[in-house]
Structures are given as C-alpha cells and as structure tokens.
Amino acid sequence: MDLKGKTAIVTGGGTGIGAATVKRLACAGANVVINYRSSADAAEEVANACRDMGVEAMTVQGDISKDDDCKKVAQAALDKWGGIAALLNNAGTTRFVPHEDLDGLQMDDFQDLYATNVVGAYQMTRAVVPAMKAAGEGRIVNTSSIAGIMGNGSSLAYSASKGALNALTLGLARVLAPEITVNAVCPALVESDWLRDFSSEHAQKVKDSYEAIVPMGRICTSDDIADSIMYLMTTPAPVTGELMVIDAGVRLGPRSPLARRE
C-alpha cells in the first residue's frame, strides 16, 4: 500500500516503537494520529517531527482499554482527513513479576493487562474497520511479543496477554480479508523505554548478557521493529495473519562458542 496522503493511527505513539513507527509513516507521506494515554509532551514532540517532514499530525489522548476512547481516536482521524488507511495497535502495559512467583500476580493484574494488550487492540480495530471497508483497503499491525510465543517475558500475565493478542491477530486476519490485512510483530528484548527504567548499570548488564548469547550479537532497537511494521503496512504481497518475530535469533538458542567475537 502506498501511504502517501493517507491516514494512519498509532496507539501508544509518543514513545518507543510507536514513536519510531510514527516517524517512518511520516517519511512515507502519511498523515498521522498519535494516540497517547499520559505522555502528552512526548507525543507532541513526535507530532512536531512529523510536521517538519511536511505531513500533518495530531495527538489524541485516550486510554484504549476504554471503548469510548477508541471511538474518539478513530473519529478524530475521520473528522480531520476523512479516512483511515492503517492502524498500529502499539499501546501496551506489563507487570514485572518473576514467573516462579505464583503469588506475585492476582486477578486484577491479568485483567489490567488483558484490558489494554488484548481488548484495547480489539476495540481499536473495531473502531477503524468501517472506514477501511468503505475505502476497500486497510492495514492493521499489532505490536505483540516473542513472549506470546515462547511463554517468557516480564511476567506470566504479560506472556499470556501477548499469546491472546497473537490468537486475536489470526482470527481478525481471517474475517477481515481480503480488503484488510492484519499482522503482528513479535519482538524479543528491545532497547526502549522500559529497559532504560532500570538503573544504568543493571540495564547495561541485561543488554550485555543478551548480546553475548544471541546469534546476531546485538539487541533490537525500536527502529528495527518500526522497519518491520512498515513492511507489513506497505508490502504489495498478500501477507496476512503473519506473526513476524524480530529477535536477533534468540529462538535459535545461544550462538556457538566458536562464533567470532568482535
């Protein structure tokens, strides 16, 4: 799909993978709705960067776990530009709880994560589908995680929510074809905001230990994931229902001890 002059919505678009994708969309000539829940300043900074590229951009506050907010975000795009061509369901949340700590998670934790990571993506999709169907085309990408495939990640509730998002991706891809494609990206560890939330020393240890074992020898960045999202949004190939893993090869296991170290 050629996105020039068309409209894209990115939830959680003020930071990390969302912000990187917004800028890629702007480079492709798309007008962008940047949804945020609490990062107003960051979202506006990203919007200004898009305007500097010669496209239009707006920020819309909203909690995508609330259906009315999802409708508000979609309507803002329609009111401004009259259509919606692409959606990145990127907004997400987590809890950091060791998997072996079964008492560390309660029902509320699961419900909170599912409300945003799964139900929010469903509600945003539902909000944009009529406009995409009317236009005869649309591209939807969900930001999932390798945790939804491997059962690892920041907590069992998180990995379960991303597994549910993967299943939702497949189901939506089936029922929304052929006009609308629905795919997901499933990153492993990404050098983004949550990693920087740790102390610099601990974050560096996490990064170093990861890069020491993964076959590609480096951590993924938000830009890496944004590039993959843009492929799914723009490719003319008939790709739908794809769970694209971007993990520097972590699923392959530790790289050979004989591998060359730089």
Global confidence as pTM: 0.93
Residue 240 contacts by C-beta under 8 Å, 6 or more apart in sequence?
173, 177, 181, 182, 183
* Confidence bin at 243 (pLDDT 50/70/90): very high
Segment 139-194, tens digit of pLDDT: 999 999 999 999 999 999 999 999 999 999 999 999 999 999 999 999 998 986 65
pLDDT value of residue 194: 58
Looking only at the bridges linking them, the beta strands covering 190-191 and 220-221 are: parallel
Segment 197-208, tens digit of pLDDT: 555 676 677 778
Across the chain, what does the average pLDDT equal?
93
Q: Please indicate whether residue 249 or residue 255 has the higher confidence score (pLDDT).
A: 249
Which architecture does CATH list for 7-189+225-248? 3-Layer(aba) Sandwich (3.40)
Residue 23 and residue 102: Cα distance in Å, rounded? 40
Segment 43-81, tens digit of pLDDT: 999 999 999 999 999 999 999 999 999 999 999 999 999
Q: Which candidate, 74, 85, 81, places its Cα nearest to that of 120?
A: 74
Residue 241 and residue 175: Cα distance in Å, rounded? 10
One-letter amino acid at 38 equals: S
Residue 252 contacts by C-beta under 8 Å, 6 or more apart in sequence?
215
pLDDT value of residue 155: 96
- Does the annotation count 122 as an active-site position? no
pLDDT value of residue 262: 47
Set 114, 158, 210, 231: catalytic member? 158
Segment 32-48, tens digit of pLDDT: 999 999 999 999 999 99
pLDDT value of residue 197: 53
Domain ranges in the chain are: 7-189+225-248
